[in-house]
């Protein structure tokens, strides 16, 4: 056990609220140092974790079942025994692409009901600068009846989770930390310092830490938007974008971004948090929003590319059978949050094509709940007029181009979005 003192001098007992891709690995890491409660309102999720089953595949079963420092609960009353609360719930966008803080504020109300004098509440969820102190802290004060920075304190340490990436796990990525007072900042920094081998970076304020998080992914979003726009341009010039990028990449300082679909819980969402805040202070962020428009439109572009190629092959699109390989937002993980593959599926169905989706990584039940479609099992050989290889799963790479072509009828079209096969093995790629 570490000798780090809690602000109230009570023994540290941590509650991690939200046990998804971010919260569960964090709860496991803290449990090796402090008694830790993993809390989630999803009773099924809690039951699975108690049985050693993690559907996100981020944590090994032994870390759940052979860990005396970790317990799980969906009962808000269990939070009363804790004095450090780390909130890691989702912060998505709504249908109008505006920040949706519903889960974050609900979690704040739950924590407020358990908060006592000396308590520390740390937020990891992505937000716009100012959200912790302007939106969340008032909820904590109202529910608890305590005074901010007098009776309780706040911190912010933005998550940097990369689903499916064990090489860049929690302990191996530098953690940005911040606190609502210098003393709270010291406490938060030392708390994470006990579990982050790569070290921490203490920001001067919570707002700085919040802003750092949203620009990390905004920068990446814009870089991808640039190469996506290049792909749109080069496709009209009958140039292969990947060949152009490979040639340009021989220059030492050329950045190795590739065109593709931009989804997931961060890159396709975080820029909208920043643009929302920018507009609220009277600034229209033109470059960021332009990048978002390009990236949000790539699924439709892929579908239209495929339709044009099918027409050139004299394939009647209405009623044609199309297989989309992959639904996860990225390769080698089961995460379907904000997957832009669904844009391809919906656009092809607008052309009245019959579309099957195949992704062995993905839960069929979750896909049906999230997107109203149920992925198929093993695709039938010789059944399809076109195939879209939408996600670069290693199992698809291992399958090989010949096996993909074997799924199709004569005269078919293959669109290899990510370029996982050689150029001469596919008809289209971004």
Give me the active site residues, please.
Answer: 266
Cα 368-374-378 angle, rounded to 5 deg: 150
User: Cα separation of 249 and 99, whole Å?
Assistant: 36
Q: Extract the tokens encoding 169.
A: 């796990």
Q: Tell me the CA end-to-end span of the chain in Å, nearest whole number.
A: 52
Cα torsion through 410, 411, 416, 422, rounded to 10: 80
Q: How far is CA 274 from CA 12, 78, 207, in A?
A: 34, 35, 12
Helix (H) or strand (E) holding 85: strand 84-87
| Contact yes or no for 392/331 (Cβ under 8 A) | yes
E-strand ranges in 351-418 read: 354-358, 384-389, 408-416
User: Cα separation of 389 and 379, whole Å?
Assistant: 13
Give Cβ neighbours of residue 334 (< 8 Å, ≥ 6 apart). 55, 56, 57, 328, 361, 362, 363
User: Cα separation of 282 and 284, whole Å?
Assistant: 7
User: Cα separation of 331 and 108, whole Å?
Assistant: 33
User: Cα separation of 357 and 341, whole Å?
Assistant: 10
Q: What is the DSSP letter of 202?
A: E
Nearest Cα neighbor of 262 from 213, 330, 216 is: 330
Nearest Cα neighbor of 256 from 268, 244, 266, 267 is: 244
Q: Extract the tokens encoding 228.
A: 């996506």
Q: Extract the tokens encoding 13.
A: 């007992």
- How do beta strands 84-87 and 70-73 pair? unpaired
């Amino acid at each position: 056990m570490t000798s780090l003192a809690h602000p109230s001098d009570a023994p540290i007992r941590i509650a991690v609220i939200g046990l998804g891709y971010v919260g569960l690995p964090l709860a496991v890491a803290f449990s090796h140092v402090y008694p830790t409660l993993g809390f989630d309102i999803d009773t099924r999720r809690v039951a699975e974790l108690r049985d050693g089953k993690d559907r996100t595949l981020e944590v090994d079963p032994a870390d759940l079942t052979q860990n005396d420092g970790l317990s799980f609960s969906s009962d808000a009353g269990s939070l009363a025994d804790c004095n450090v609360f780390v909130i890691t719930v989702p912060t998505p966008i709504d249908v109008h692409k505006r920040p949706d803080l519903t889960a974050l504020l609900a979690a704040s109300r739950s924590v407020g009901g358990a908060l006592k004098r000396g308590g520390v509440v740390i937020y990891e969820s992505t937000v716009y600068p100012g959200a912790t102190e302007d939106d969340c802290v008032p909820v904590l004060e109202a529910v608890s009846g305590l005074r901010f920075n007098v009776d309780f304190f706040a911190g912010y340490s933005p998550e940097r989770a990369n689903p499916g990436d064990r090489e860049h796990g929690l302990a191996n990525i530098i953690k940005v930390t911040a606190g609502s007072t210098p003393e709270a900042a010291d406490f938060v920094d030392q708390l994470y310092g006990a579990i982050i081998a790569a070290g921490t970076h203490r920001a001067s304020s919570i707002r700085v830490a919040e802003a750092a998080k949203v620009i990390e992914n905004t920068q990446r979003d814009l870089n991808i938007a640039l190469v996506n726009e290049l792909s749109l341009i080069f496709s009209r010039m009958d140039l292969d974008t990947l060949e152009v990028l490979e040639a340009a990449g021989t220059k030492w300082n050329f950045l190795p971004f590739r065109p593709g679909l931009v989804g997931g819980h961060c890159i396709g969402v975080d820029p909208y948090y920043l643009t929302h805040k920018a507009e609220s202070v009277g600034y229209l962020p033109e470059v960021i929003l332009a990048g978002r428009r390009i990236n949000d439109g790539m699924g439709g572009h892929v579908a239209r590319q495929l339709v044009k190629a099918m027409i050139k092959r004299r394939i009647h699109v209405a009623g044609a059978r199309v297989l989309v390989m992959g639904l996860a937002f990225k390769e080698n993980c089961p995460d379907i949050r904000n997957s832009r593959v669904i844009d391809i599926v919906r656009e092809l169905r607008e052309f009245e094509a019959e579309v099957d989706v195949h992704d062995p990584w993905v839960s069929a039940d979750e896909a049906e709940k999230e997107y109203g479609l149920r992925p198929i099992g093993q695709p039938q050989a010789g059944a399809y007029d076109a195939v879209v290889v939408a996600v670069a799963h290693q199992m698809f790479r291992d399958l090989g181009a010949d096996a993909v072509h074997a799924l199709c009828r004569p005269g078919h079209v293959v669109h290899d979005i990510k370029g996982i096969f050689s150029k001469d093995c596919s008809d289209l790629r971004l």
